[in-house]
Amino acid sequence: MTPDFETQLRAVSLRVTRPRLAVLAALRNHPHVDTDTVIALVRAEHPAISHQTVYDVLRAFTETGLIRRIQPAGATARYESRVGDNHHHVVCRSCGAIADVECAVGHAPCLTASDDHGFVVDEAEVVYWGTCPDCATERLAQGSASSEGNR
């Protein structure tokens, strides 16, 4: 895994450092995590790495396109290492869980806007909102319990 990370860093002209390798590993193993979670994951393996270093690494990675920063409305910013494929996200309104969603059909159809106003479109960001299976099951269970109490 490390040689792959080293190649990724060098490809965007970044030096290979322990904090950078640790952040890449955290994001590969835990997609859609917020900054605090990245810090906790990195520091679990490397306690001496500072919060500021993790912030700096996340900023450098985002600026070079090595990672993607997403921020669904009303949520904290999240990071993922899956980049360059124009995928989208589905977000649970209840618990905030996020999952990847491929483009609807064909080859990146979402890049064809009904009216691009002269822009050269190279990316589309679509966020689907709903209720995840766990929260839906919980709501059904709560609904059954409250209806039984009303009998």
How far lies 58's CA from each of 27, 52, 64, in Å?
10, 10, 10
| pLDDT reported for residue 85 | 82
> Which residues in the chain land under pLDDT 50?
1
User: pLDDT tens digit string along 76-106?
Assistant: 999 999 998 878 899 999 999 999 988 765 5
3-state helix, strand, coil in the chain (%, to 5): 45, 15, 40
| pLDDT reported for residue 1 | 47
Which amino acid is residue 115, in one-letter code? D
Continuous segment of H or E residues that includes residue 129: strand 127-130
Nearest to 9 by CA among 84, 64, 49: 64
Tokens 């590993």, residue located: 25
Question: The whole model's pTM is what?
Answer: 0.81
